[in-house]
Structure 1
Amino acid sequence: MNVLLCLAVILFILMILIGGKKGARSFFALFLNFGVLLLAAVIMTDPKANPVILTMLACTVISGINLFYINEVNNKTKPAFLSAMITIGVLLLFIVMVTETAMIQGFGEEETEELSIFSLYIGVDFVKIGASVIIMSTIGAITDVAISITSPMRELYHHQPSISRKELFRFGISIGRDILGTNTNTMFFAFFGGYIALLIWFKDLSYSFGEVVNSKLFSAEMITILCAGIGIALVIPITSWIAAYTFVKTREKRGTS
């Protein structure tokens, strides 16, 4: 506990020194997001709850915290929020279909020994739970990419108010291309690094390459990484178009008023 407290204090001090008030809001946003995820997880245990709808509500709140609470409500966070919501909606439907097709829901055979003493008849839809877990893992990256695109687009629009919608859209896509590779790799190494122990376990079980690839645990993690990459790729053109449309529409309204 002392180590956790010391690390939290160090993180808070660094975020204050570097980010100022926004850094402090970012630090407290971590706990707010954790509270939302914890509440969503508790409600998901209710058989009457719909995990897909609950995930959308949780993602909406998390996106609002990450964008509006940290960066305030302005003309760069509004397009980013709308873009994130559209991307999450499309991605959630896609992930539900992928989860049903790949049958990665539930537990793998490697976990049966530890779970043998528990009953698995808990009355929840494991397909929807699996889809919810994947989308929760990608929400942070999606909102991060969205605000990373709208922020420089707003700066360009501020310095070049006469820029066309098409040029502004191309600028957003250009930024997105630079972000795409780094964020996708970040997601890959974050998930892969967290499951190094799983690969060591597979080695101890003397799994062949084919058995590793077809393992439910390994497949679930790889599908999570791939879906996260798809979400990052989708949010780039969506954010670029919405931001370009919003900025130019604002200019046109000011011109007619």
Structure 2
Amino acid sequence: MNVLLILSVILFILMILIGGKTGALSFISLFFNFGVLMMTIFFMLDPNVNPIIITMIACAVISCINLFFIDEVNRKTATAFLSTLITIAILLLLIDMVTKITMIQGFGEEQSEELAPYSLYIGVDFVKIGASVIIISTIGAITEVAISITSSMGETLHHHPTISRKDLFLSGMRIGKDILGTDTNTLFFAFFGGYLALLIWFKDLDYTLGEIINSKIFSSEIITIFCAGIGVALIIPITSWINAYFPVRARKN
């Protein structure tokens, strides 16, 4: 507990020193997001509630916190919020199909020993829970890319107010291409960092490459990374188009 408190204080101080008011709001938003996720879990325990619907509502609330609470309500955050919702809605169709085909829901056999004393008949649809997990895992990266592109395009429009819609859109796409590579690699290395002990365990158990790839734990995380990467790739043209269309249209009017 003392270590957690010390690290929290260090993070809070650094965020204030570097980010000022925005940094302080970002730190507070961590607790708000944690509260939203806990409420989401509680609602998912109700068998009469669709976990995917609850997850979509939670993603919308989390996006509001990360965008409007930190950066206030303005054209930049509104565009990023709209882009995030559109991307999540499109991505949901893919995620729902993938989870049904791959059957990655539930727990892997490597976790059976720890779960043996407990009953798994908890009355929830694990297929939908699996889809919800992937959606929640992607929301952070998608929101980050949306606000980054929107902010950069806003600066471009500010310094070049007469720029055409096409050139502004292409500017957003170029910014997105630079973000795409770093974000997908961040997701990839976050997986290996978090599951390095599991991979070492696979090696000690003499798992073949095929057994590792077909392991439910491994494949579910890789699928999450791919879905998050697809979401990051999708939001780049969506955000660029929305952020190029409406400001230029408002300028013409």
Q: Deviations over 1:128-185 (max 9, x none)?
A: 1001111111111100000000101111111211111111000000000000000000
2:243 maps to a residue whose letter is A
Q: Which residue of 1 aligns with 2:35?
A: 35
Matched position secondary structure for 2:75: coil
2: CA distance, partners of 1:46 / 1:202: 36
Q: Deviations over 1:104-133 (max 9, x none)?
A: 011111112222222211111111100111
Q: Which residue of 2 aligns with 1:102?
A: 102
> What is the alpha-carbon root mean square deviation over aligned residues?
0.9
1:81 maps to a residue whose letter is F
Aligned residues: 253
Q: How does 1:6-155 map to 2 (within 5 A)?
A: 6-155=6-155
Moved over 3 A (4+): none
Q: Which residue of 2 aligns with 1:157?
A: 157
Q: Which runs of 5+ in 2 are unaligned?
A: none
1:240 maps to a residue whose letter is S
1:23 maps to a residue whose letter is G
Give aligned-pair identity as a percent: 70
What TM-score do the two structures reach when normalised by structure 1?
0.96
Give the deviation of 1:10 after TM superposition. 0.7
Give the deviation of 1:205 after TM superposition. 2.0
State which drifts further: 124-133 or 201-210.
201-210
2: CA distance, partners of 1:201 / 1:22: 42
CA contact (8 A) 1:154 1:247 kept: no
Q: Deviations over 1:29-65 (max 9, x none)?
A: 0110111011101211111111110010000000001
CA contact (8 A) 1:79 1:246 kept: no
2:96 maps to a residue whose letter is V
Q: Which residue of 2 aligns with 1:218?
A: 218
1: CA distance, partners of 2:176 / 2:236: 5
1: CA distance, partners of 2:59 / 2:225: 18
Q: Which residue of 2 aligns with 1:202?
A: 202
2: CA distance, partners of 1:128 / 1:210: 27
Q: Deviations over 1:188-230 (max 9, x none)?
A: 1112210011112212222111111111111001101111110
1: CA distance, partners of 2:68 / 2:138: 19
Q: Deviations over 1:83-106 (max 9, x none)?
A: 001001111121111011011011
1:231 maps to a residue whose letter is G
2:237 maps to a residue whose letter is P
What TM-score do the two structures reach when normalised by structure 2?
0.98
Matched position secondary structure for 1:76: helix
State which drifts further: 146-155 or 112-121.
112-121
